[in-house]
Every structure is written in structure tokens, then in C-alpha cells.
Amino acid sequence: MKKTDRELGMLRQISRRDFVHGVSLGALGLMLPLGCSSGPGDSAAPTSSTGYPPTRTGIRGSHAGSFETAHALAREGVRFDNPVDLDEEYDLIVVGAGISGLTAAYEYRKKFGSGSRILILDNHDDFGGHAKRNEFHQGGDMRLSWGGTMNLEYLSFTDTVLNFLAELGIDVHQLSNELDFHYGGDGPAIWFDADTFGSDVLVPGFSMYSRNLDVLDRIDQFPISEPSKAALKQFYASDANVVDGLSEDEIEDLLRRTSYTDFLSQFAGLPDEVVELFIKSTDGYWGVQPHSLSTAEGMNAWLPGSHLLGGAADRAAGLEESEEVAMFPDGNASIARLLVQSLIPRVAPSANAENVASARFDYDQLDRAENLARLRLDSTAVHVANDAGGVTVTYVKDGVNARVSGRHCVLACYHAIIPHLCPELPSRQKEAARYQVKHPMLVTNVLLRSGEAFEKLGITGAYCPGRMHAKIWLIKGVNTAGYQGGTDLQGPVPVMFWGMIEPPQRDVPIHEQLRQSRQVMLGLTFEDYEREVRTVLDGMLGPVGFSAANDILAITVNRWPHGYAYGYLDLWDPEWEAGQAPHEIARQPFGNIVIANSDAAASAYTQSAIEEAIRAIGELS
């Protein structure tokens, strides 16, 4: 029987609720960002007059107060005239305090001198952009997780990026060697929920991502039809070459022009019921589902099927190998913290790459008049223009339109907002920027009283083909940069839910799918996300004594409606000539304004954000 909200613990006050979706411009100056009050047990967290954003629970990422002004500008055409001119003059103004924006400020100081005056504006109440730190104290000792970008795929880094990280004191090899986290790979499972499949069924030891030849009999536990079970077993066990007789060019065309789901049905012979089991499999990794990914793209996301290609996959499609990664316990938020500390040392005087994950940061130091570099949060840029040999930037903070001026400006925000910020941009450049519609991303972290239920079940994570979040993972084994989260599952432990919001329509162009997914995400309340989390944990862990009402200490929902940078997709995008792709046109400098972000590389990776910032500063003179 389906449990009521009361039985799931929904009525318990564990965190602030996000109850505001649209706020009038006049109310912005009066509104306190939700979650400013820490949850129970937060007394161990750092405090300041501005609060300490990493400990805030409820809805984070695109939190209430962070997007309303930008939506008024872009969606409603609201004008922000007659700004107050502040008596502030800067060498550089950066719009966006993510990895790119912070890197740009760091590189600017190297190029133009350590005495450069820099202002960094960000619309959120914390810095780092998608490199989001989630910090929990509700169970006593601090527990960390990440709310956005996670890995450093350092084997693919250029010397430029490796040297940059080394300047910050980051030893990627040491981080990798100290890492004992495997995204559930050391205890995989698949969980079928009662709402979708008729009954709650957990199948430990099975991964949809590998051939599972030693555990094919576990498919018998799946709550699907007998013919579907047989077809899935045959799929994993088969060594048939389904591309026999095709040339390499024909194989490459098949892999690049056939969706992964069509490959499963047309070439692997899987019935629709089985194909649907794979629909959520690329949610977190791509932010696009496999019906809109090519076969090659699906297999590059570790989905099975290359065993049916007769060894042709590597030659024809260049399928990638799984890479080693390095990781901080708060994801790439530690990189953002090191950059902020470099720019504003007094924020954490003793912080370095060896202890940054556990270092205390004083947010009161971010925007002091005496700082050469100032970081101003809760400040949404609404107009950027070249002016008299420099730039002017208008932004909204606390309901007030303010204008500052400077010598240079770096736009480190996402591309799609830039045409609204800079209406004087050439039309071709604005059109190119609008093309790059970001992929929504969802990362929800839940602090549990203990991890005993996972231990009893013998799992460290699970794939959930019928739920909002595609995967969940137990977060342990990331004991780096001065943090010891512990491996003892008897105490509090974070669990990460990862994925995207499924678009209502699959048979529409990819940009429309992404926009639909974004709208659904923004329309959900915190209670919707909380109910989802409690339902999944109750159904999965309840049989071994877990109580969704009593064993959940905190929930932090990191929703990113504008998440992953748009990377060009085989099924949807043409092959542009060199220099003519939208990201290359959109990132062109405009007077004293340059552009730096992952969109500028059409690549949703931290190394891309760093490289684009370095490129952009190189364009300034």
C-alpha cells in the first residue's frame, strides 16, 4: 500500500521550503533567500553576518531570488533604466562567479598586475556556479557532497589546464590516488519502483551498463514480462555481429545517425518494454536521454551494445575508454574556493590545496571596499555596454539598479542570456548565442542518519529506471584535501540522487526537449522533490529497517535549469566549418567585452571552463 505523506515524514521540519517561484521586481529587495536559516544541528557550521551558503538546504542551485530578475529581462523584456551610478571604478568587471569567471579574474591579475581592481558579480547567493558545495552538520561531524560538477578527468587535460591547477597547488595524481569512490560500481544495483512496475524490487549486483555475464540469472527478478527477460538475457549474452558486411564508413554512419534506442530495437532486437529500461541511463551523464543520442554517443556513455559490432566500434566511432578521475569531497567547489582565496586571501588565510575542503571561509570578507578583488553575490547583471574606452555594467541587488564602470569586462555567464545583456552585439553573434540551449541538470543530496541499510543490502548505489532521479549513490571514500568523511556507515552519510527532469515530449527537436525539461523543473516545489526522495528511499531501503520518517536528516536539491553546456549532438547538429560553429561565433570579443564560459567551448567540463577563461583574458589588451 502506498504510504501517506505523514508516514513518509513529509510533515517534519527538516529544512526550509521553497515556496516562491515568481517574485515581482518590487519585492526582490525585500525577499530573503530561502534557506538562510540553517537546519537543526547546524551550530557547528561557520557563521557570519551574511550567513554561510554551503550549509543551506531546501532548493539550491537556481534558488529563489537568483533567477527572477534574469527572467524578467529575457522573458518579459523588462527594462532596468535609470540605475544609480556607484562611485566604483574597476580594471575588470566579471559577470559570473563560476569556475570560468573566477579563473578569468585570476588570469587577469597575472596579465595586468596584482594591483588590478576587480569586481565579480553573481546572481546566486554563493560562488562557484555549478561547482556547488553542499555541507551538512545535522548529524554532528561535517559531511560534504557536491551539488554540480564533480570530477577532474585529468588524463584528458591539456598542459594549460594542468599547469593552472598546479599553480593553485592541486596535485591531480595525489587526489586520484587517495580516491576510493566508484559511483556505485563496487556495489551496483537496479531498483524497480511500485508506481512504475507494480512492485518494489531491488536487484543487487546487477548493472545495466555492462554485459553481466556472470549474473544474467538476476534478470529473472525483474518485474517485466517473460519474453522481455529472455530478450534482455540474449542481448547481453550474444556475440552476434549485427554490422557484418558493412564497410567502415557504413558502420560509422549507422553509429552516428541511428539513435541508441533505435539500435536496441532494430539491431539488437529488444522489445519496447526492455528499451524503456535504458531511457534514464544517460540522464545525469548527458542531460539528454538515449532516444535523442546516437548509438556512438550512448556507447560512449558506457551503455552496452559494442559487443554486437564485431570489434568495429573503436575503429568506426572512436569510442572512448573509461578514464581515471581525481575528485575533491565537495566536487570542483574546492577549485572555486582556492580561486576565491587567491583573489581575496582574508576570506580563509590558512586555506590551501591540502586543506581547502575543511577550511573555514568568511563570506563577510568577499565584498569589502579595501579589497583589490571584490565578489558581490545576489547581484544579477542586466546590461553590459562598451562606453568611452571602457565598459559599464548595470546590475540589480536588493531591488536596486546599480551601475559600475571599468576598463574591461568578462561575461562568464551562459551564452543564451548574453543577447539580453548586450543588445548592441551583432545580430549574427546574438543568434549564435541563442542556439546554445543548456541541458537541465538535477543533483539532490540527502543526509541519512546512517548508511547501515545500504550495508545490509550489499549495495552502494542503484539505477532507478522509473523515477525522477536516474541514479543514487552513497557518498563515501572521498577523503581528500583535509576532509575525512569516514567509511564508517554507522554514522551520518550523504546519498546523492543524480539525473534530469524527463521532457514531456520525446518527438520534438532537442532544443525544445531541453526547454520543456527546464519548465517542468522550475514548476516543481521543494515538497515535490522531497516526496520523491522519501518515496525512493522508503521503497528501496525500507525492507531492511530504514525509516523515511526518522532517518532523513537533511535534503538539499541542486536544480540547474541551465546546467550542462550544449555539446553538439550527432542526430541534431550539422558539422560546421572551422570557426563557424555557434559557440565559436558567440564567443567573439566585442570591444572591451570578452566571453568566457563552458558554452564558449561547447563542452560541459571544468577543464573547458578554465581554458576558455584563459583564452578570453588573452584577447584583452
> What tens digit of pLDDT does each residue of 41-92 get?
333 344 455 689 999 999 999 999 999 999 999 999 999 999 999 999 999 9
Fold for 222-312, please state it: Guanine Nucleotide Dissociation Inhibitor; domain 1 (1.10.405)
The list of the chain residues with pLDDT below 70 reads 13-50, 184, 312-323, 486
At how many degrees (to 10) do helices 606-618 and 99-112 cross? 30
Sign for the pseudo-dihedral over CA of 107, 108, 112, 118:
negative
pTM, entire model: 0.93
Distance in angstroms (rounded) separating the CA atoms of residues 343 and 347: 9
State the helix-helix crossing angle for 333-343 and 99-112, rounded to 10 degrees: 30
In terms of Cα–Cα distance, which of 449, 454, 439, 464 is closest to 532? 464
pLDDT per residue as tens digits for the range 518-533 = 999 999 999 999 999 9
Q: 386 pairs with which residues across the strands?
A: 391
| Cβ-based neighbours of 621, under 8 Å, separated by 6 or more | none
Neighbour tally for 458: CB within 10 Å = 10
**How confident is the model at residue 598, as a pLDDT?**
97
Q: What is the pLDDT at residue 217?
A: 96
8 A C-beta contact, residue 191 and residue 539: yes
> What confidence score (pLDDT) does residue 180 get?
86
Among the listed residues 577, 578, 583, 575, the one whose alpha carbon sits nearest the alpha carbon of residue 608: 583
- CATH architecture of structural domain 70-129+328-436+569-618: 3-Layer(bba) Sandwich (3.50)
pLDDT score, position 181: 84
Domain ranges of the chain: 70-129+328-436+569-618, 222-312
How much is the pLDDT for 34?
Answer: 26
User: What's the confidence (pLDDT) of residue 183?
Assistant: 79
Cβ neighbours of residue 395 closer than 8 Å, sequence gap 6 or more: 121, 376, 379, 380, 381, 382, 401, 402, 403, 404
Burial (CB < 10 A; 0-12, 13-18, 19+), residue 573, is middle
Burial of 30 (0-12, 13-18, 19+ CB in 10 A): exposed
- The two counts, helices (H) then strands (E), for the chain are 22, 19
